[in-house]
Amino acid sequence: ALGAVLLMRFAKEAAKYFDSAEIIELHHNRKLDFPSGTALKTAQLMGEARSQFNLNTHDQTANLPDARGAEYQGIRLHSVRIPGLVAHQEVIFGTTAQTLTLRHDTISRESFMPGVILGIRKITTFNTLLYGLEHLL
């Protein structure tokens, strides 16, 4: 979805200014992999903008193993799989006395069509293989 691509772009920009971040991705219960490719790509892009995250985390005690989610380049990733969802992603940034939340919600798979149509219209303008809608925006 174009909104997911824009969320990744905005998250990369915000990562320059916020030293703490976590990603929460939610999908239907039939999605077998986790975290999602979109969440991983978002974390990779954020890592390009800032080399370290969440350095101000104090000693914490886990009452349950892995309750804080997986970690990728210092960014915590949380995956939810539950019936009734399609695809959702939230990136929460924090720094001194403020937070910023970016969120994209796919309500229906119809949301993927504008990106497909954009790809069909622009594909003839490229001479090389492209991976990702971000190159078309």
For the question of residue 104 being annotated catalytic, the response is no
Catalytic one among 12, 16, 28, 31? 31
Q: How far apart are CA 125 and CA 111, in angstroms?
A: 24
Residues in Cβ contact with 41 at an 8 Å cutoff, skipping those fewer than 6 apart? 8, 132
Q: Which stretch of DSSP H or E encloses residue 103?
A: strand 98-106
Q: How far apart are CA 96 and CA 20, in angstroms?
A: 10
Which domains does the chain possess? Answer: 2-56+68-109 (3.30.360.10)
For the question of residue 31 being annotated catalytic, the response is yes
Closest CA to 42 of 136, 134, 120: 134
Catalytic one among 12, 27, 78, 104? 27
Q: How far apart are CA 23 and CA 105, in angstroms?
A: 14
pLDDT values of the chain reduced to their tens digit, one per residue, 137 residues: 899 999 999 999 999 999 999 999 999 999 999 999 999 999 999 999 998 887 666 677 788 888 888 999 889 999 999 999 999 999 999 999 999 999 999 999 888 888 888 888 888 888 888 777 776 77
75: phi then psi, degrees, rounded to nearest 5: -95, 130
